[in-house]
Chain A
Amino acid sequence: QQPVQSPQAVILREGEDAVINCSSSKALYSVHWYRQKHGEAPVFLMILLKGGEQKGHDKISASFNEKKQQSSLYLTASQLSYSGTYFCGTEMSYNTDKLIFGTGTRLQVFP
């Protein structure tokens, strides 16, 4: 039931791009993306609902492929502030009150 994220870790130079994937073996209703800095709470990035809509703000965007039960987070022209651990959270239905988080992807951006 737990979604699987890949890769587990990414190291980037400032300005480089990255893609983080989140895959589920079960049908999904929504995917939430959060970023967590060390010692802090997770911070919401965006939510994608069933329908394959792509969302984004600034240089971070995401897509949701219903057929593959997969979501991808795209980080373009990375900045130092993007460093942290990225978690996807998945919901199986509209009526669920349970967000199941993925295994996490640790992203480090160096100057």
Chain B
Amino acid sequence: EPEVTQTPSHQVTQMGQEVILRCVPISNHLYFYWYRQILGQKVEFLVSFYNNEISEKSEIFDDQFSVERPDGSNFTLKIRSTKLEDSAMYFCASNPGGNTEAFFGQGTRLTVV
């Protein structure tokens, strides 16, 4: 069964460092998303990506964040200068079209120290 894969599963980084979280969405899907979940809290929308550009983003997704689909298969989230409050589980998701089931990856746990 096709699945969304994320790497790494856990990343520890020092405050102020740049991190890149990687995702491989399901191959025939057109919409890609990043969500984050601070421990014990709800899942928060960060950004959606369609047709090689950002289609929507939340207030959380400020200038420190960027997304890219560099090679037609990977979908990356970059945080330029990490802060302690960026520590969270980051989920990538994809779906074939709007208003359909979103498939989530297993997440990357980011710990900023």
Task: Please report A residues at the B interface, Cβ cutoff 8 Å.
Answer: 2, 29-30, 32, 36, 40-44, 47, 49, 87, 89, 91, 94-104
Contact = CB atoms under 8 A, between A and B. Distances in A.
Contacts of A101: 35, 42-45
A39 to B, nearest CB: 9
B72 interface: no
A30 B100 CA distance: 10
Interface residues of B, number: 24
B98 A44 contact: no
Determine chain B's interface SS by DSSP, over half rule: strand
Contact of A40 (B42, B55, B58, B106): B106
Contact of B103 (A44, A95, A99): A44
B99 A87 contact: no
Contacts of A49: 99
Given A47-B99, A49-B99, A97 B42 contact: no
Given A32-B102, A97-B48, 15 more contacts: A36-B43, A42-B104, A44-B102, A47-B99, A49-B99, A87-B42, A89-B43, A95-B98, A96-B98, A97-B56, A97-B98, A98-B56, A99-B45, A99-B102, A100-B45
Residue from A42, A97, A99, A100 having most chain B Cβ neighbours under 10 A:
A97
Contacts of B105: 41
B43 A91 contact: no
